[in-house]
Amino acid sequence: MTAPQAACLQAALQVGYHLLDRGGPALVAVEQTIRVLEQSGLFNAGKGARFQLDGIRRMDASIMEGHGLRAGAVASVEGIVHPITAARMVMEETDHVLLVGPMATTFAEHFRLEPLHTPAPMRRLSYAMMLKRQKPVRNRHGTVGAVALDRFGTVAAGASTGGIALMLPGRVGDTPLIGCGVYADNQSGAVSMTGIGEGIIRIAVAKEICERLAEGKTPKSTARYVLRKLVARIRGAAGTLVLTPDGRFTISHVTPRMAAGWWDGRGKPTVGDRFP
């Protein structure tokens, strides 16, 4: 993790924590924390989103709260800085959970979300060439995500991403899929994932973690169990943030590093990129 990334993570944690400290809902804390990371351009989300093989940025995001199990998501959305806010608006302004592609973009434009200006692609690959190149490879600077617990005992989780390296146009990962990249339930916990989406989807990791939490397992043992299963069964690679409604929390990863942090309002926010 670079020094600017560490500083940005700390700033994002402070924004989220101060909202919670003033009695704000976990959902808003998650959204606002992620907006800081999307705005920074330092991570693979929002201004820093990765390009698909045709030179276009298509982004995914989702958000969920654990009281009413309300959720919203966008996939393959283009031209906005804050897909996480588009996801929240899908949750709050529609009866749907997920909007995709150009119509997700139209939705975001309708609500006048901040536009993301990207230069037109410099060169175009043939589809045959794109097929040859595509391969699920995780980026060095990954997806952004957050989990939060408010003073009413409600948990929330969210994530926002530009996807993975070398992806075909239209590829969608785990991030906008509720139960895969994100889940939140006040009867179990909140989970936000990062890693290679193709594996996370096939194990439905976020929901599996929540199910084990509901059986009374600890966040740490649950996260380790499910991530090891991901590796053993399908050679996946991922990291997770897990938070329970009674305030237990873990960061766990089976990737070499995962830039992450937490803050409970005391001292300075803790950030790091290895969480054994």
d(CA 18, CA 29) in angstroms, rounded, equals 8
Residue 199 as a binder of ligand ASP (CB under 6 A): the answer is no
Residue 150 as a binder of ligand ASP (CB under 6 A): the answer is no
Q: Exactly one of 33, 143, 154, 250 binds ligand ASP (CB under 6 A); which one?
A: 143
Q: Is 143 a catalytic residue?
A: yes
**Alpha helices, DSSP H only, in 111-235?**
127-133, 197-203, 205-214, 219-234
- Given 143, 161, 175, 240, the catalytic residue: 143
Nearer to ligand ASP, 85 or 161 (CB): 161
Contact 27, 63 (CB under 8 A): yes
User: Please, how many CA atoms are within 13 Å of residue 21, restricted to the half-sphere of its CB?
Assistant: 10
d(CA 159, CA 7) in angstroms, rounded, equals 19
d(CA 70, CA 95) in angstroms, rounded, equals 10
- Reported in sequence order, the residue ranges of the chain that DSSP labels E, i.e. its strands, are 59-65, 70-77, 98-100, 144-149, 155-161, 182-185, 189-195, 238-243, 249-253, 260-262, 270-272
Nearer to ligand ASP, 196 or 254 (CB): 196
Q: Exactly one of 47, 82, 88, 138 binds ligand ASP (CB under 6 A); which one?
A: 138
State CA 166 to chain mean position distance: 19
Q: Exactly one of 174, 185, 208, 273 binds ligand ASP (CB under 6 A); which one?
A: 174
Binding mask 230-259 for ligand ASP (x = CB under 6 A): ------------------------------
Residue 46 as a binder of ligand ASP (CB under 6 A): the answer is no
Residue 83 as a binder of ligand ASP (CB under 6 A): the answer is no
Give residues in contact with ligand ASP (CB under 6 A). 44, 138-139, 142-143, 161, 163-164, 173-175, 194-197
Give the residue numbers marked as catalytic. Answer: 143
